[in-house]
Amino acid sequence: MISANSIQSDMILTEIQMAYKHHKLNGTPEILPIRLNYFEDLEYDLTAYLDSRNYLAWRSYSDTQNIIKQLQQVINGHRLSDENVLDAIKRRAKDKEILVRGLLSDGDFERALAECEKILEQNSDAHFIHLLAVIAMLKGKGADLFPTNLIKRIENHLENASKDQEVKPTALAIWGIVKH
């Protein structure tokens, strides 16, 4: 069961690692994480063992009977759809993006950059977040006012951001501004 508290437990990580290794060798036990009203990105160690697995989502006590029914289905050999949980995770990512945009609009560049860095620790492929990180680093000033090592970090973020075709034009425009 994945909750804000359980992901902090070394014992839980150890149990998941043991179950994962045993599953690889013997095909059992089947690991079925239940997210207990927690849809944040998981730390790398947990992601390595759980990311490709189905999840069950428990948001409130009203979900309890449905969770029990789904567990029974899994025990009987049925595979579950993870669409609902993935939707919740995608919504959470969008919420984080909105938070960063709001911080940038308010001129809170330091906090916006800190939020971007937290997001990128969990998902380095969040291309738009790379772009927002650059905007936070520039703090509304010209690139010529920054040290070379910061410009290199900015270029690295822009390179990652430009991997997303929707973000690429904006990333390249900012890159041009930074270079010149």
Q: Three-state SS string across 148-174, please?
A: HHHHHHHHHHHHHHCCCCCCHHHHHHH
Report the pLDDT value the prediction gives residue 60, as an integer from 0 to 100: 83
Measured CA to CA in angstroms, residue 15 lies from 70, 84, 114, 118, 160 at distances of: 22, 26, 31, 26, 35
Given this model, what pLDDT does residue 180 score? 56
What is the pLDDT, as a whole number, of residue 80?
64
- Give the pLDDT confidence score for residue 88 in this predicted structure: 58
List, run by run, the mean pLDDT of 10-residue segments along the chain (180 residues): 86 86 81 82 73 72 87 78 58 79 85 87 76 79 69 82 82 71
